[in-house]
Amino acid sequence: MKWFKKLEERWQVSSWQVVIILIVFACTGFTIMFLKEPILDLIIAEEERTWVFSVLYYLLILPVYNVVLLIYGLLFGQFKFFWAFEKRMFRRMAGKKSEK
């Protein structure tokens, strides 16, 4: 499992932490997937959704995803890792060089 070792080195964490971090990402993805339809049904009927609405949804879901990611990170004891991960991600999105 070469990719697993690469994640350990890249994230500078133990093997056990890599497993937990991957579980957190999986739980976050599933949570967002299961929340999508109920939330969208509250906002707009399925028949009225256009491709523009879909694009806007994916742009607006990013902050929700990040909050859920931090919550799961906290629950699984990896908040520090995910907080740093979020800061790096937003720095990159803003076009700033990452700090080491």
> Would the pLDDT of 71 be above 70?
yes
By CB neighbour count within 10 A (0-12 exposed, 13-18 middle, 19+ buried), where does 63 fall? exposed
Contact 2, 18 (CB under 8 A): no
* pTM, rounded to two decimals: 0.81
Q: What is the pLDDT of residue 66?
A: 94
Q: Which of the residue ranges 48-52, 61-65, 75-79, 87-91 would you say has the lowest mean pLDDT?
A: 48-52
Tell me what the mean pLDDT of segment 7-29 comes to.
96
Q: What is the pLDDT of residue 97?
A: 66
Supply the mean pLDDT for the chain: 89
Model confidence band, residue 98 (pLDDT cutoffs 50, 70, 90): low
Measured over all CA atoms, what is the biggest interatomic distance in the chain, rounded to whole angstroms?
48
> Would the pLDDT of 4 be above 60?
yes
